[in-house]
Chains A and B, each alone.
Chain A
Amino acid sequence: MDKPYVELRHLGKRFGDVAAVADVSLDIPEGEITTLLGPSGCGKTTLLRLIAGFFPPDAGEIRIKGARVDHLPPQRRSTAIVFQDYALFPHLKVFENVAYGLRRRRVPGPEIARRVRDILDFLGLQGLEAASPLQLSGGQQQRVALARALVVEPDVLLLDEPLSNLDAKLRVRVRTELKEIQRSLGKTTIFVTHDQEEALSVSDRVAIMDAGRIRQVGTPVEVYTRPADRFVADFVGIANLVPGTVRALTVEGLVLDSPLGTLTLPPRPGAAPGQRVTILLRPEAIRLFGAPGPDRIPARIRSTSFLGGMRRHHLQVEAFSLTADEAFAGTGDVGGQDVWLTVCTGQVHLLAGETA
């Protein structure tokens, strides 16, 4: 990897007794969207605000393009933030909102006019220059906030849950737009969200946070298919976490005893007979059949949710509960309550160092 564009080294921030950010180190590469993903109160917004400079860290360093910035006030950092509530100045028109950062930088008037017009055109906001932010729809407000941040050409764009105030349908559309805008500008972007689906869909890299710490950093595919631990597995996507014990290592692979019976997984170095492990089964790694067959495990359907493109079944295998997805083809669905399942062992991940 090239030298990181933004470097966080051993960052810490406490509020009273709460360690909001604890010993966080993270490299953020140039031109990509890096997402900070985690549940409420995990410290992701605090981390973003540390990068923006709204308060100083208690410990650690922040570097942007190699230069230390953690002692600088927000005015002197080359970051621009889009707030969750957009924080548009309600007493200024759209034009003046967008021009605000340029005026503070003493950009000459004609250039301000040109740059504001260009960014408004680019974001499809032409014609709204004289509108009050209060007259705009949520989606328009969000784009004005984005324009206000982008127009100052920051080195790093910070997005603090920018989609959470939009309704569900718009959110999906805007996140696609956001990704396309970021791609076309190549702007290094740090995106904060608690929505794992949003994180997986927009990010080049995802850092999953919990209790002020980063649990894993990786591409969306990596964190989904090879989560570092139980927390990440559970937080990103739907996880069936099945306890197992290594029975034997054979030429075919790893033989495990589990509540689902005996499973044979691809070989894995370091596994020893008798070791207890946790098996991650994503819902799509389970295949359902309407009739018994060799190696098929009998199960009962407790309930089913129809999700449009697929059905999500909540299954019972003896005392063990599982969630399984079945692509919906309009016909040929498994009827009745008794089903049989097989596990696609190629899609199974063993959680390292986890004992169930």
Chain B
Amino acid sequence: MSSESLTHLPAPGLPGWRARALLREPVTLVVGLGVGGLLLLFVLWPILEVVTYAPAGDYLRLGENARWIRATTNTFRMVALSTATATLVGFLYALALSRPDFPGRELLRLIAILPLFSPPFTIGFSYLLMFGRFGVISHGLFGLEASILGWGSLWAVQTISNFPFAALAIERALSATPPTLEAAARDLGGGWLAVFRTVTLPLVRPAVAGAALLVAIYVLADFANPLIIGGDFPLLATEAWYRIDGWGDLRGATLLAATLLPPALILFLAERYWVSRRSYVVIAGRGSSLDRPPLPVSLRWGLTLFCGLTAGLILSLYFGVVAGAFTRTWGVDWTPTLTQWGVALTKLDHIRNSLVFAAAAGVGATVLGTVAAYLVDQKAFPGGRLLDALCVLPAAVPGVFFGIGYLLVFNRPGVALAGTGLVMVLAFTFHNLPFSFQIARAGLAQIHRNLADAAADLGAYRFRILWDVHLPLIFPACVSAWTTAFVNSVTNLSIAVFLVSGGNQVATFSILGLIGDNRLEAASAVTTLLLLTTLLVVGAAWWLSRGARVIPGVLGG
């Protein structure tokens, strides 16, 4: 240790000092005010509009509305059930992924990542193909013809859709526990189970809680799977859509959406709190090259079987979607055919819209997120806390809520944005801002202050430092920010349904329409095409940025 602790003190000075410093940087001030203005306009305004749209009296009478009560209890029931199972499955899966001696763990990881790149309803849709009225398994294998729509199926679908998030989060924590701790505990005489119970589990408990909260947020906000699989199991998100789609009842829809907001906010804040506590895991000195002790044989086989089945299920669900695209009539006539692709080609405009809107939203979210991160982290901007809060706020807002907000504010008659692609791009941009903002912040945090100081010391002024040091080093983070926003936007349905009109149709909405018309094979073809193009674009982005991918912050100490 040296006196470096002093140089790591927070930026010096009082707010007054900061304000004066900022006046000397008019560009920063203008940019900061501009970003703040955009956030107020495109984040805060739509949210406030939804909450205040219905008169207060409507909120007071909610308790008398049987349908509202049913949707609310159903929603909480689904969140509780799905969170419990998805976290449990995710934990077991993570246990396998974190063991270097586990067979095929890289393949398992790849399969778990797959759902992150596909529209959120893909699992629900393929579940329909497997277990629906003419499902391969329910009808083909067991000859059943009963409808599987309802809460049980939705629970299964939510578990499968969301366990990968839990698995990846928990695996990070498990891998971060130093193997020496386990070895030390075993050395002191603990058996595998005792070590797991007394050392490993307590260390990853915050990560497990964080993962559960993350899953709960996703289940609470999910719209597409309940729409396809839920049947007559009304949830808040789907009910809000039915109010608008069926009755044109905006007031009723805002009441339902507004009901989603408090639990979503609470879960979101709790998750952030847990994540911030997670860092106590490693209190070790230098890294150790010690291998993790092997799992007991019985557990290893049990886990292998479990993970194999889970991964197999995911693969078969995806296979079902692809197979559907080449089938004449699903469950009835298995003749291979290309006719579905003819239908898919008629939806090419919608796929193109999806890609263009998502690409534009990716650029918007990345630029805005990076600029905001720079202001908050590097510039000690006076309103930095507020800017920070506004940038992450959309992550706490379910898509349905956000979509209704944009519908109320920007998609009404008389507003120039109504029915345009731009309104879709703006909604996707600001709903994805939290991701790009946090990725950019993490990227900036990797760039040690000394690099900027070194450039200044050698004669570079502010913009030169930004150009020479910050931009090249943050570029890889920008690529992942763009990719995240792009994938989220291409696959989005919950916002899109409230904003589509003739001119700005997107692929997810046409797929939903095809499923609704029971044209499952054509829906399969469009989904497959969308998946392929998305993966292609993401692959191209990574390939194009490969040269710029250096790892900053690994020099010296």
Contact = CB atoms under 8 A, between A and B. Distances in A.
Interface of A: 14-16, 18, 20, 38-46, 49, 52-55, 73-75, 79-81, 83-91, 100-101, 104-105, 132-134, 138, 141, 148, 152, 161, 164-165, 192-194
Interface stretch (B97-105, B451-459, B503-511): B451-459
Given A45-B6, A89-B469, A104-B459, A55 B12 contact: yes
B464 A104 contact: yes
A161 B458 contact: no
Contacts of A152: 458-459
Given A43-B3, A74-B456, A89-B454, 10 more contacts: A15-B12, A40-B1, A41-B3, A74-B457, A81-B454, A83-B450, A84-B2, A85-B450, A101-B458, A164-B557
B551 A18 contact: no
A54 B454 CA distance: 10
Contact of A141 (B12, B457, B550, B556): B556
B500 to A, nearest CB: 42
A15 B6 contact: yes
Contacts of A53: 457
Contacts of A54: 453, 456-457
B36 interface: no
B552 interface: yes
Given A42-B3, A104-B460, A104-B464, A86 B551 contact: no
A74 B387 CA distance: 30
B2 A87 contact: no
B66 interface: no
B4 A84 contact: yes
Nearest to A82: B454
Pick from B12, B551, B554 the residue with the most CB of A within 10 Å: B12
B456 to A, nearest CB: 5
A75 to B, nearest CB: 5
B448 interface: yes
A132 B547 CA distance: 13
A140 to B, nearest CB: 11
Nearest to A48: B3
B6 A41 contact: yes
Pick from B457, B464, B473 the residue with the most CB of A within 10 Å: B457
B283 interface: no
Nearest to B7: A45
A-B pairs, top 10 by smallest CB distance, nearest first, are: A85-B556, A104-B459, A101-B458, A87-B450, A87-B454, A45-B3, A15-B9, A74-B456, A91-B472, A86-B556
B555 interface: yes
A90 B7 contact: no
Interface residues of B, number: 36
26 contacts: A16-B12, A18-B9, A20-B6, A41-B6, A45-B3, A45-B7, A46-B7, A49-B7, A54-B453, A74-B457, A75-B456, A75-B461, A81-B457, A85-B556, A86-B556, A87-B453, A89-B455, A89-B468, A90-B550, A90-B552, A91-B552, A100-B458, A105-B459, A148-B458, A165-B557, A194-B1
Contacts of A85: 448, 450, 555-557
A164 to B, nearest CB: 6
B270 to A, nearest CB: 32
A91 B550 contact: yes
Contacts of A73: 456
Contacts of B457: 52-54, 74-75, 79-81
B346 interface: no
B5 interface: yes
A164 B454 CA distance: 18
A134 B550 contact: yes
A299 to B, nearest CB: 35
B9 to A, nearest CB: 5
A45 B453 CA distance: 14
Given A40-B1, A86-B555, A80 B6 contact: no
A22 B557 CA distance: 29
A90 B555 contact: yes
Nearest to A15: B9
Interface of B: 1-7, 9-10, 12, 448, 450-451, 453-461, 464, 468-469, 472-473, 548, 550-557
A1 B402 CA distance: 74
Nearest to B469: A89
Nearest to A79: B457
A87 B468 CA distance: 14
Contacts of A138: 556
Pick from A20, A38, A43, A193 the residue with the most CB of B within 10 Å: A20
Nearest to B464: A104
Contact of A75 (B2, B459, B554): B459
B456 A46 contact: no
A43 B461 CA distance: 27
A3 B469 CA distance: 39
B456 A134 contact: no
A100 B455 contact: yes
Pick from A49, A91, A141 the residue with the most CB of B within 10 Å: A91
Pick from A41, A46, A90 the residue with the most CB of B within 10 Å: A90
A341 B460 CA distance: 62
B157 to A, nearest CB: 44
Nearest to B459: A104
Contacts of B5: 40-41
A88 B447 CA distance: 11
Contacts of A87: 448, 450-451, 453-454, 555-556
Pick from B3, B4, B7, B554 the residue with the most CB of A within 10 Å: B3
A116 B464 CA distance: 21
A38 B552 CA distance: 31
Contacts of B7: 45-46, 49
Contact of A84 (B464, B548, B552, B557): B557
Contacts of B557: 84-85, 164-165
A297 B453 CA distance: 58
A194 B9 CA distance: 19
Contacts of B451: 87, 89
A77 to B, nearest CB: 8
Contacts of A52: 453, 457
Pick from B7, B454, B557 the residue with the most CB of A within 10 Å: B454
A141 B6 CA distance: 25
B459 A133 contact: no
A87 B473 CA distance: 13
Contacts of A104: 458-460, 464
A83 B4 CA distance: 11
Contacts of A15: 6, 9, 12
A141 B557 CA distance: 11
Contacts of B459: 75, 101, 104-105, 152
Contacts of A55: 12
B556 to A, nearest CB: 3
A136 B555 CA distance: 9
A53 B459 CA distance: 12
Contact of B555 (A20, A88, A105): A88
A52 B461 CA distance: 15
A185 B43 CA distance: 60
Nearest to A96: B468
B4 to A, nearest CB: 6
Contacts of A49: 7
A165 B4 CA distance: 13
Pick from B1, B4, B464, B554 the residue with the most CB of A within 10 Å: B4
Contacts of A81: 453-454, 457
A81 B452 CA distance: 12
Nearest to B454: A87
B315 to A, nearest CB: 38
A56 to B, nearest CB: 10
Contacts of B455: 89, 100
B473 A90 contact: yes
B456 A18 contact: no
Contacts of A39: 3
A134 B551 contact: yes
A40 B458 contact: no
